[in-house]
């Protein structure tokens, strides 16, 4: 097994349900291992989530064997940024991880955020 998979959590995982089309959602990108779709609560004109089809909880659960997957998620984000014409002005890529990282959905996801100049606020609550 190349990474931690949990059938219990994947059954109730909202992003697994989106991958399986149990919750209808248009994909802006799809390949054999990744899908991408718009965030339901966008914080900027472009806000896309790039996720692995396989249930992986967070960056903490990534294994060495997942390095190609992780790299492909970043390359998918780059490709979407170019397609959506935000490459030149730039964008933010964000992996929230765990409680202190503010991760709310426990299925690995990469935020692609752009289309406007973004505030940078990183401080303890």
Residue 109 catalytic?
Answer: yes
Contact between 26 and ligand 5GP (CB under 6 A)?
no
Contact between 45 and ligand 5GP (CB under 6 A)?
no
> What is the Cα–Cα distance from 93 to 96, expressed in whole angstroms?
10
Q: What is the CA radius of gyration of the chain?
A: 14
> What is the Cα–Cα distance from 1 to 43, expressed in whole angstroms?
36
Single out the residue of 10, 28, 35, 37 in contact with ligand 5GP (rule: CB under 6 A).
37
> What is the Cα–Cα distance from 39 to 61, expressed in whole angstroms?
23
| Alpha-carbon dihedral angle through residues 108, 111, 83, 15, given to the nearest 10 degrees | 40
Closer to ligand 5GP by CB, 20 or 65: give it.
20
CB of 22 to ligand 5GP, least distance (A): 11
Which of these is catalytic: 47, 107, 109, 111?
A: 109
> What is the Cα–Cα distance from 60 to 56, expressed in whole angstroms?
9
Single out the residue of 8, 24, 26, 40 in contact with ligand 5GP (rule: CB under 6 A).
40
Partner whose footprint covers residue 33, from ligand 5GP, Zn ion, none (CB < 5 to 8 Å by kind): none
């Amino acid at each position: 097994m190349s990474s931690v998979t949990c059938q219990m959590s994947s059954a109730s995982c909202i992003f697994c349900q989106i991958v399986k089309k149990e919750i209808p959602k248009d994909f802006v990108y799809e390949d054999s291992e990744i899908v991408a779709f718009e965030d339901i609560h966008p914080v900027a004109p472009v806000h896309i989530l790039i996720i692995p089809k396989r249930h992986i909880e967070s960056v903490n659960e990534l294994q060495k064997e997942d390095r190609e997957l992780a790299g492909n998620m970043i390359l998918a984000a780059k490709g979407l940024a170019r397609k959506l014409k935000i490459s030149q002005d730039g964008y933010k890529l964000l992996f929230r991880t765990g409680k202190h990282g503010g991760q709310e959905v426990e299925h690995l996801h990469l935020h692609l955020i752009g289309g406007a100049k973004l505030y940078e606020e990183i401080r303890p609550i």
